[in-house]
Homo-oligomer: A and B are copies of this chain.
Amino acid sequence: MLNRNRIVTAAVELIEREGADAVSMRRIAAELGVGVMSLYNHVPSKAALLDAVAEDVLSRIGFTDDPSAHWTERVRIQARAFRRIAHHYPRSTMVVVSRQLSSTAGLLPVERALATLREAGFDGREAVRMLRMFIAYVVGSLLREVGVTPTFAPVRADAIIAEVDPALFPVVSELRPHLDSCDHDEEFEFGLELLVQAMAVRAAARADAQAGRGAGERGGGRAGHGGARQ
């Protein structure tokens, strides 16, 4: 018996196996051993099917939230959970990312993330902003890692190796070794840590401000801010 779930699963498998370009209704139908039009009894259109694929992948994000952990660690864990899924379904991730989906799938991650941020001491407005910034970073990173980089990220290596003119691009030329290689895990963790620390500084600044003016001038967040601005 054909049903929506079987179709979506077949689509995900096909995407991972042969890439998003290989996906066609005929191909999926063949994969399932049914006629093409039978699919349309369960899925209104190909676009809707791809939306369902995105939703499906997103819903697979595993949550092992540990409420006893420090909020900074919980943020890291959630970011890594997202990333793990993307690595498990790399090609489908591209579908997720390049598709505007309006469903409530993946709302659970948002709920958890916002709760964590509220716990960290941010008000609603700030929590949402932090979340959006975080998602931007994670999504951007995945886009690079998963192979569909905007540009120049891990760089095509060998292909261009001799093409860069040191006179025109001295810095790029000098840093080529670092540009050519890219340890995705390290890079991700580096940015993650930077972001978490930045958030923590903000949180500390908030706490200071709320704790009253008296001790407000102590070193911590304040000095960090000053150093940053000048």
Query: A197: CB under 8 A from chain B?
Result: yes
A87–B142 alpha-carbon span in the complex (Å): 22
CB proximity to B under 8 Å, residues A171-206: 171-172, 174-175, 177-179, 182, 187, 190-191, 194-202, 204
A130-145 vs B, CB cutoff 8 Å, 1 = contact: the mask equals 0011011111110110
Query: A41: CB under 8 A from chain B?
Result: no
A107 with B152: CB separation less than 8 A: yes
Task: Determine the chain B residues whose CB is within 8 A of the CB of A133 once the complex forms.
Answer: 137, 141, 187, 190-191, 194
Partner of A227, one of B129, B137, B196, B201: B201
Partner of A197, one of B102, B144, B219, B229: B229
Task: Determine the chain B residues whose CB is within 8 A of the CB of A125 once the complex forms.
Answer: 178
Task: Determine the chain B residues whose CB is within 8 A of the CB of A221 once the complex forms.
Answer: 223-224, 227
Query: A5: CB under 8 A from chain B?
Result: no
Query: A149: CB under 8 A from chain B?
Result: yes
Given A101-B151, A132-B191, A221-B227; 18 other pairs, CB 8 A cutoff: A94-B98, A104-B164, A106-B151, A107-B164, A110-B169, A111-B172, A114-B175, A129-B187, A129-B191, A133-B141, A136-B136, A137-B137, A143-B143, A197-B201, A200-B228, A204-B224, A221-B223, A224-B224
A residues at B contact (CB < 8 Å): 58, 72, 94, 96-102, 104-108, 110-111, 114-115, 118, 124-125, 127-129, 132-133, 135-141, 143-144, 147-153, 156, 159-160, 163-164, 168-172, 174-175, 177-179, 182, 187, 190-191, 194-202, 204, 219-221, 223-229
